Amino acid sequence: MVKLTCASSFWALPASIRPLFRSPHLVLSCRRYASKDVSPGALTIGGHSYPIDSWTNVPPNILAQYGRKLHVQSDHPLSITRQLIASRFPSFRNHDSLPGVVTVEQNFDSLGFTPDHPGRNRTDTYYINQSTLLRTHTSAHEVDVFRANESDGYTISADVYRRDAVDKSHYPIFHQMEGALTWDRKAFASSEACIQQITKDFEALPKHPLVVEDPNPTYQPSNPLQTQYHSPEEAEILAKHLKRSLEDMVVTIFAEADKGLAAAGHRSKSEDEPLKVRWVEAFFPHTSPSWELEVWWQGDWLEVLGCGVIDQPLLIRAGQPDRIGWAFGLGLERLAMLLFGIPDIRLFWSTDKRFLSQFSEDGPIRRFQPFSKHPAAPRDVSFWLPKTDAPIITNTPATASTAASPAGGQPTEPSTSDQAPPAFHENDLMEIARNVAGDSVEDVTLIDDFTHPKKQRRSLCYRITYRSLERTLTTEEANRMHDHITRELIEKYRVEIR
Ligand code: FA5
Ligand code: MG
């Protein structure tokens, strides 16, 4: 339950938070203040009260889901996946209950995000107020955990929040698992001795038969060595240890999936299509060099994690100047989808027994059996945008590994925060759709983008696919949701429906 306190009137609040008042999940308590300068209100999340301001953009549907902790819910597929991954890192200390409200400093500054990094934009991140937000990644806790220095290796599993695309592999709340391992140079007589130890640890890692595509050198100008801090030998052995550890983790996940299939008398997945993975170069402000690991899934490459050699200035800020090491962050949903054959990310939020009863922490992994298939109800919305010089942001490559994201992605793309706010940002439409239709919206895709040559007006057409996972939607229900979304688009963006 989210509690909202307010002063004066609804209209005194920033437009972005007004919809909060319509939520049945909010308790509203208003009090009149004599002074005009008092804070316009506060949000209570997880038992703490936070003042709201003009940056507040976290919507009620997100707050209503806050604190579900699916990653530790017993017999939940996300929890099973988390435990399976953790079992590959037996000496690591596991942190599973760090609170999701963090500071801008934790989420961005502590990791070396530049002030103009696009991930900081309100179009990408849910802000509670100007200095507080819902974490966009588990890396938000890296510096704190390094500073506490309780173990050489650790994992952090948690819910994370992003304004993002709506489709079968993206959801505004998902779960990440962070892992890091460091070696203390101080504990060795020389840097060679430290390298020897990492080499020994690497040789002790399980070997696997997997063929891995890894065409790039460990570092090159596009993915640089931290020359000021690391020798080439250190970076090479850290990269080898990191990649082998993560490949082993993926192989384990698939071996478990195969065992489950065999136990149920099915052909193993690897007999049909051998596991294919590849390393691609990436960029994160908090690692260098950096990579993403992709797995071939349903005819396409699916990115499952980002990783790299930890940025040394980050370790220095955390009071660990002598430690060197690696870190990764993976999407638990992505791996659970591969492990159990779960076709749609919305299913993880289901409270339907037909879903939850299929998974058990004790038994072998079993392939998910769809319990229903309901028809899709696609509807298009086509509109003219008002004439404007402000940026219009569409077709955000949510799944592209080079895309800017609230967790890294693109190093150079400038932020729009200092410029005029976008006249239209696709993520706003995604949020309207989730707010109005909840989990009955399966996908939102731009299908046409056209600028009238004479009038110089731009027209967009989005296909919104409605489909409930639990029942068949009636035509009237789909129409009602679609009309509601269309109305909000008109009100918010002054678009003209075509
Ligand atoms: C990060 O979040 C980095 N913090 C990861 C990292 C940690 C890099 C430590 C280096 C060192 P990224 O934005 O790529 O990176 O997200 C990591 C993973 O989360 C992705 O590979 C993907 O598996 C998953 N993911 C990202 N966005 C979504 C989404 N909207 N829905 C579901 N899973 C997602
Ligand atoms: Mg990524």
Report which ligand 1 atom has the smallest distance to the Cα of 179.
9
* Amino acid 330: pLDDT: 97
Give distance in angstroms: CA of 2 to centre of ligand 1.
27
Expressed in angstroms and rounded, the spacing between residue 334 Cα and the centre of ligand 2 is: 12
Pocket probe mutation, ligand 1, options 62, 113, 139, max atoms within 8 Å of Cβ: 139
The answer, yes or no, to whether the previous bond of 421 is cis (omega within 30 of 0) is no
339-390 pLDDT, tens digit each: 998 999 999 999 999 999 999 999 888 889 998 889 999 999 999 998 888 8
312 membership: H or E segment, kind and range: helix 312-317
Where do the structural domains in the chain lie, given as residue ranges? 42-357, 377-411+420-497
227 exposed, middle or buried (CB, 10 Å; 0-12, 13-18, 19+)? exposed
CA dist., res. 26 & res. 21, Å (int):
7
CATH topology of domain 377-411+420-497: Alpha-Beta Plaits (3.30.70)
Cβ-based neighbour number of residue 272 at 10 Å: 9
Identify the pLDDT of residue 269. 64
If we measure between CA atoms, which residue out of 101, 114, 79, 95 comes closest to residue 2?
A: 101
> Which residues have CB atoms below 5 A from the ion given as ligand 2?
306
Residues of the chain with pLDDT under 70: 1-40, 267-272, 397-420
For 123-146, the DSSP string reads TTS-EEETTEEE-SSGGGGHHHHH
Let me know: does 208 contact 246? Beta carbons within 8 Å: no
Residue 268's pLDDT is what? Answer: 65
Fold of 42-357: BirA Bifunctional Protein; domain 2 (3.30.930)
pTM given for the model: 0.84
- The alpha carbon of 405 and the centre of ligand 2 are apart by a number of angstroms equal to 7
Task: Give the ligand at the shortest distance from the Cα of 172.
Answer: 1
Calculate ∠ Cα 84-68-128, nearest 5°: 120
Please give all residues whose beta carbon lies within 6 A of any atom in ligand 1, as ranges.
Answer: 137, 139, 162, 164, 170-171, 174, 176, 178, 284, 286-287, 303-308, 327-331, 333-334, 405, 407-408
* 165 CB burial (10 A radius; 0-12, 13-18, 19+): buried
pLDDT score, position 16: 40
pLDDT at 266: 72
Best residue for ligand 1 mutational test, from 65, 167, 174, 277 (most atoms within 8 Å of Cβ): 174
Residue nearest to atom 10 of ligand 1 (CA): 307
Tokens, residue 466: 């409605």
